Structure 1
């Protein structure tokens, strides 16, 4: 029964969005509504729509959940720049509110996926090119040090 309800809401959302697009009108939702629509799209295996919804959510408010889902999507796509941006936002958020990082976190797992694909040196260079403040750079470097310490596949290149 839940699947049918999900399909009904998803179909209504996509139809409504299409209607607004053809009328060249802005499609407005709150940040929370976009977050819920992103979750709905992920449950139905529509990653492109989920990514769009989570990005819209972040245009309205900060949401650690939306950033985490986007980090997973970007890591799966291999979009290193956007994945690192999401990881930075989440790391700063977790440092601010929880002030502890226990490895391996979900952030570290997704960064390790990128290290396997791209290599540790490239990831470090991309992080450096982002010109982050030094304290933020230090926070992010901990993830890469963790990858090197435990010899995550791809740490040597």
Structure 2
């Protein structure tokens, strides 16, 4: 398959890409500039995104112990064993014992909204749940796959797919 008159989609990644990406979008995603490994990773990503649909994009949990607010580098442990560290510059005092949290799973990270706080805060996952087969573990594998792709191609692909 020719792209932009000069590049060809690899055989291995191409079969999956043809299944998930309309030919008119190949140029937009600059598929011809990707290595075979990157094309395969993008195809796998799109297949996973298509089938999973990031269906677990919002999850609930409970903080294990007390929460004293966000101080710039707050570490939060949930009752399921997951540990998150604050990455966003945000300060807010709010003491509560075992507050509920909402975890927003985004393609490139996470946000936590703690019960009775003003807004969700960007965090990174330091340790996945002791139930490693859970959706946060799947999301970490998804993020590892994203890291193998050119960032611009990933952003374009996700924007095309999220608009559908």
Give TM-score scaled by structure 1 length.
0.24
Larger strand fraction of residues: 2
**RCO higher in structure (CA 8 A, sep ≥6):** 2
Structure of larger gyration radius: 2
More helix by share: 1
